[in-house]
Structure 1
């Protein structure tokens, strides 16, 4: 006669082998414990997603402007914030951009890459402003810097002054 590894209850040798050494009661307790832990993990994941969504919404609400508007009542200037986005042009984009240089026209692939970089840099600028407690960034400036001689790497730098304005 064998005993349950969990509680020491007597069980047949065959039951011990077939049930990984635990009795029916212990198996049910373990199952309930696993379900409870899984529910806790799921709840934690939901809370984390909700917090991330709320943070993203707060960041999205931060206003960016390139100049000081007369209707903005700035209550506090916090600090200069910056965000950088380095992006590369892959071989095919470079090839087609080179053809466009010769024959004229616009390169949609290059424009899309630059648009994505601008959106990324501006979002990250808002995120930096959020970190310092700002609800707006004034005097936003975008600068493009070529990082490689062949023009295959470009960096976009966004900067501005993080401020608090009246709602």
Structure 2
């Protein structure tokens, strides 16, 4: 995934401007913006840098001293398979093999859910999430909508 040359934010295909910067930085440079919009963007970039919390699937680790357990945090990410992904996944189901399109969609949703989990933890004052669990839930009978739920315990650990 590409990074903005100005703010180092990860940018996806739809957020990418031609000059290698995110759309928000592009708008700030090339379109009149209020000072409030510029400050809001700077705040989001700073917050994203702080969110890089430790995440564990276990409750403890030998070198981490948990000083405070705050609360359970969750993040949800619902995603759908478009018609073509469904079609090719159906063919793979018959003939066997891996569906790279479905795997990529699930990988992206996992990354999104874990990022949102870190964000939730940061907002309640935690610097780590322990006991992380990922659950996939089928939302529709047709099987073309899936929700990923990430949950864990927000904690404060010693530096």
What TM-score comes out, normalization by structure 1 length?
Answer: 0.73
**Residue matched to 2:149:** 157
The corresponding residue for 2:84 is: 92
- RMSD over equivalenced CA pairs, Å: 1.6
- Give matches, 1:4-153, under 5 Å: 41-59=33-51, 61-67=52-58, 68-153=60-145
**Structure 2: gaps spanning 5 or more residues:** 1-30
| 1:44-85 deviation line (CA, Å, top 9, x unaligned) | 3332221110011111x2111101212110000000000011
Q: Distance in 2 between matches of 1:85 and 1:132?
A: 20
Give the Å deviation of 1:99: 0.2
Consecutive unaligned residues of structure 1, counting only runs of 5 or more, are 1-37
CA distance in structure 2 between the aligned counterparts of 1:160 and 1:44, rounded to whole angstroms: 34
Structure with higher Rg: it is 1
TM-score (norm 2): 0.76
Structure 1: 4+ residue segments shifted above 3 A:
41-45
Q: What is the CA-CA distance between 1:42 and the residue it aligns to?
A: 4.7
- Aligned counterparts of 1:116 and 1:145: Cα–Cα separation in 2: 16
Q: How many aligned residue pairs are there?
A: 128
